[in-house]
A and B are shown apart, each in its own frame.
Chain A
C-alpha cells in the first residue's frame, strides 16, 4: 500500500486550472498550443502563460506538468527545445514526454521528465530503461492491476531509481476517457480526416456509430453499440485495490472537458484517496462518489483493463450520459464583496429562487450554489426573466464576464 498519493488533474484552460486548484489537486497537467495531444483544442495555454501558471500553482503547492508528447518531426525540434527552456525558466515542475528527443533534451537541461503513456511502458525493463531519464512514469493503459503491482514491487526490489536518486514513481490513469488505440496512439482520425491524433489533432471519429459491411455488401449491425468507443474509465469503487499496488500518482483525464467536470472529478478522487489512506474508505462512500461522478460528462463507466476484463465495454450512445446538465442563463456584471452579492444580466431564460446554479470563469473557476435570495430593481423577487438585471447572493468571489448556468438534473 502506498503511504501518499498524488491526484493529477487536467487543465485545458484557465477556468479548469482554477477548478483543479479549488478541488485540491496535488498537480495539474496542461499543454501549450503545439506539440501536445490536445493541440486542436480551441483553448490551450501559450508559452507566455507559463510564468503565471507556475506562480499560481506554487501558491497552492500544486505541481505543474507541461505535456510535450506528440509525434515530433525535425521541424518541431527547435520549438520543442524552446518550450523546454521556457519550462526551466518559469519553474514548471516537469514535462510529460514520449519522444526520445524531448526526453533527452529535457534531461540534459536538468528539467524533470515524466514518461507519457504514449511511450507505452508495459514491463519492468522499460521502466529500467527510462529510469536513466525520468523519476515518474505513467504505465500503459492496458495493464492489469496485478501487472502494475508487479512493476511497483520490482522497482523496489531492484532499487530502480530515477535521476533524483529516489525510487521511480509509478503513475496510472484513474478516471476519464479511454480510446480503443494502444496507449492513445491512434491513426483512425489520420486515415479518415488526415487529422493526426498523434499530432494532437484527433477528430474523435471513433466515438460514432459504425456498420460493418463485407465485400458482398452484407451488413452487420453491431447491436446499437459504439464498438470503437469504450466507456470512460472509473476506478473510484476499487480505489483501495489501486492504491494497494503502491502506485504513487493517479491521473485524471479531461483536458477537453469543462471546469465543473474537473472540479467534481478531482474532488471525488482526492476525497476517496485520502479515505483509503486514512482507512475510512467504504463501499457506501465509493457508491456516493460514483454518483457524484455520474453528474458530470461521461460516456458511462467501466473498470478499464485493471481487473482483467477480456473485452472492453462499449458506449451505447453518442456523447455524455451525465446525470446533470448546465444551461447558460446569463453573465456576471459586477460583484460586491462585502455582502457577497453578484449583479447578473439574464440573457437566455428565467432564473428562479432555489435554482441550483454554477458560475464559471477563468479566474473564478467554478462556484456552485443555490439561488437563496434574488433581487430585481432593489426588490426581493421570486424570479428574473430574460433581459432583466438582478442581484443574487453567492458564497464566493465571482467576476465580471463569468458565465452563470443552471445546474440541473438531465431530463
Chain B
C-alpha cells in the first residue's frame, strides 16, 4: 500500500497522530505533520507500507480536515 502526503497543505491539527501514531508524528520545527519514513517526491512525501497498516492509515486519511493524505 502506498501512502502519499501533501505536506505543504497540512495545518498541523494532530488528528492523524491520534489514530496512527506509529506512522505520523508532529514536527516541532514547523508545526506540521511528518510521515514517518516518507521520502520526498515533488511536492509530496510517500512511502510503501504493508497492508497491516491500512486500517489505521485509512482512519488518518479520513480524519484529515484538509485531505492531504492519500492511500493507494
Contacts and interface: CB of A to CB of B under 8 A. Distances in A.
Interface string A234-272: 000000000000000000000000000000000000000
Nearest to B64: A194
B46 to A, nearest CB: 21
A201 interface: yes
Contacts of A76: 12, 31
B31 A79 contact: yes
B43 to A, nearest CB: 14
Given A73-B14, A199-B13, A201-B11, A194 B31 contact: no
B11 A194 contact: no
Contacts of A73: 12, 14, 26
Interface stretch (A31-39, A96-104, A371-379): A31-39
B65 A78 contact: no
Nearest to A79: B31
A81 B66 CA distance: 24
The size bracket of the interface on B is 10 to 19
Contacts of A35: 12, 31
A153 interface: no
B31 A193 contact: no
Interface string B50-66: 00000000000011011
B28 interface: yes
Given A75-B27, A75-B28, A76-B31, A40 B66 contact: yes
B65 A40 contact: yes
Nearest to B66: A40
A78 B13 contact: no
Given A199-B11, A201-B13, A79 B30 contact: yes
A74 to B, nearest CB: 8
Given A194-B65, A199-B65, A201-B66, A34 B29 contact: no
Nearest to A200: B11
Contacts of A77: 28
B28 A78 contact: yes
A33 B63 CA distance: 19
Given A33-B11, A34-B11, A39-B11, A201 B31 contact: no
B70 interface: no
Interface string A18-43: 00000000000000011100011000
Nearest to A196: B13
A62 B13 CA distance: 32
B31 A78 contact: yes
A55 B44 CA distance: 33
Interface string B15-36: 1000000000011111110000
B65 A34 contact: no
12 contacts: A34-B11, A34-B32, A40-B11, A40-B65, A40-B66, A74-B28, A76-B12, A80-B31, A193-B65, A195-B65, A199-B11, A199-B65
Given A34-B32, A201-B11, A201-B66, 9 more contacts: A34-B11, A34-B31, A73-B12, A73-B14, A73-B26, A76-B12, A195-B65, A200-B11, A201-B65
